[in-house]
A = this chain, B = another copy of it.
Amino acid sequence: MGKTLRDSSKDAAAAATLRLRHAGLRPTRQRVELASLLFKNCDRHVTAESLHDEVTDAGLKVSLATVYNTLHQFTEAGLLRQVIVDSARSYFDTNTGDHQHFFLESEGMLIDIPGESIAVAGVPAPPPGLSVDRVDVVIRVKRA
């Protein structure tokens, strides 16, 4: 028989707990709740503010400071990736694989572009003493 809503919520929590343990993070209530929201569905892009609103709207109580802490810890642990496209706010991406982004600045919207589809050629060697850490491509788009 199908699972009830409560079951799937429990499942998400259980999965989140596992994921946290794997990452070496203690599965506190707040971290489990945030991880459940972040990783339940498909790839997502959030800001601290948007995630805080979301968790609050869900009737859960997590402070904004904890949302910031958690986003950074998750990023540190490789569960999230920070996307820098706007000098006003930070975005975090649940897709940590190789990919790039469309960015619609007027609406703060990010859209993934699979890594395989984009190729960057002709990158010169970095100046002596420096090594390449990552290549970021941002396709800035606007409403046609």
Within A29-82, the residues touching B (CB, 8 Å) are none
- Interface majority SS on A: helix, strand, loop or mixed? strand
* Set of chain B residues within 8 Å of A134, measured between Cβ atoms: 139-140
Give the distance in Å from the alpha carbon of A111 to the alpha carbon of B126 in the complex. 9
The count of chain A contact residues (Cβ–Cβ below 8 Å) is: 37
* Set of chain B residues within 8 Å of A139, measured between Cβ atoms: 123, 126, 132, 134-136
Q: A16 an interface residue at 8 Å Cβ cutoff?
A: no
Q: How far is the CB of A4 from chain B (nearest CB, A)?
A: 36
* Set of chain B residues within 8 Å of A14, measured between Cβ atoms: none
* Set of chain B residues within 8 Å of A104, measured between Cβ atoms: 130
